Structure 1
Amino acid sequence: MPLLFVIVWLVLEILLTARIADAIGGGMVLLWFLATVALGVIIMRRSGWRAIQRIQTAMAQNELPTRTLLDTLLLFAAGTLLILPGPISDAIGLVLLLPWLRAPASRAADAGVRRARPDLREPVIIEGEFEEVVVRERVDRRDPPGD
């Protein structure tokens, strides 16, 4: 079934691209593809760095970065869809860029994780004993070279 979906999607992308090329010209379609590829790459690079910073901040405050992770995942999906050539993938990628559509999905995923794992609300503390091990340099008992 997934293979059939991919095949149908690719055929629709090709047919729509051909119709658009007939309407506006092949050169404009090529420019459109190059622009969406550049936009997709920029989105993926910027969202990756922002995500790292937000995840580090959340972890420093002993919070789960669920919303940040899902938001980043959706932005990466949007960037990937924009990189793929075709009007359908570009339209879906542009829709995923809208923050008011990503926010409810992030909140729902965060609530689901908190319901499924209530033990993760508080930081996990593992009690135990430890013993410090001091590693000494190994003394080579062979004769020094040249003697």
Structure 2
Amino acid sequence: MMNPLSLIALLPVIEIVLLIGMGALFGFWFTLAWIIATAAVGVYLLRRMRGAFQIGSPLDPVAESLPQDPMGTFATWIGAILLILPGPLTDLLGLVLVMPWLRKLTFGVWMARNLHKIVMKRKGHGQIYEGEIVDVQQERRVIRRGDGDHDK
């Protein structure tokens, strides 16, 4: 797996290659319009969220549709910044963070694929209890009554 710092250093190169490919596939004007439109959406979201992180100040009435949970607000804020940066990869990541349903879907898929890795990293740290599974319905027991009779 690649070092995260190397990935961050390669991000501009990846974005330039993707922008050139996008321009070749869709044309220069569409690519330019895409960059301007996603940046405008990012700026719009940041302006709507300007009071979201200020303690004690209520959100403005337009921002009522923003996520009310702190993680959702933070994800939307990071997503808006990623939308401002030019490039298809940062736009895709920004859209995933801005749209709550897409964020939940992506996180759910990630959890489904990586949960076993997270659990397996804990090996040796948990307790193992040996035991036996007994089906109470199938087991027949002798119950001793006080009068000396036995039931099965």
Is 2:30 the partner of 1:28?
A: yes
Deviation readout 1:32-75 (Å, 9 max, x if unpaired): 100001000111111233x2689657xxxxxxxxx733222111
Residue matched to 1:4: 6
CA distance in 2, matches of 1:3, 1:53: 31
Deviation readout 1:52-108 (Å, 9 max, x if unpaired): 689657xxxxxxxxx733222111100000000000000010011122365798xxx
TM-score with structure 2 length normalisation? 0.53
When the two chains are superposed, the root-mean-square deviation of aligned CA atoms in Å is 2.8
Residue matched to 1:38: 40
Q: Any gaps of 5 or more consecutive residues in structure 2?
A: 59-67, 108-152
CA distance in 2, matches of 1:12, 1:52: 32
Distance 1:8 1:78, change over 3 A: same
**Which structure carries more relative contact order (alpha carbon 8 Å, separation 6+)?**
1
Match of 2:20 among 9, 18, 21: 18
**Percent sequence identity over matched residues?**
37
Q: Any gaps of 5 or more consecutive residues in structure 1?
A: 58-66, 106-147
Residues paired across the two proteins, number:
95
| Structure 1 contact 44–79 (Cα < 8 Å) conserved | yes
| Structure 2 contact 80–94 (Cα < 8 Å) conserved | yes
TM-score with structure 1 length normalisation? 0.54
**Which is higher, the Rg of structure 1 or of structure 2?**
2
Answer 1 or 2: which has greater helix percent. 1
Distance 1:95 1:102, change over 3 A: closer
- Superposed structure 1 runs of 4+ greater than 3 Å apart: 52-57, 100-105
- For the residue of structure 2 that corresponds to 1:74, the secondary structure is helix
Amino acid at match of 2:98: L
Residue matched to 2:125: none
Amino acid at match of 1:21: G
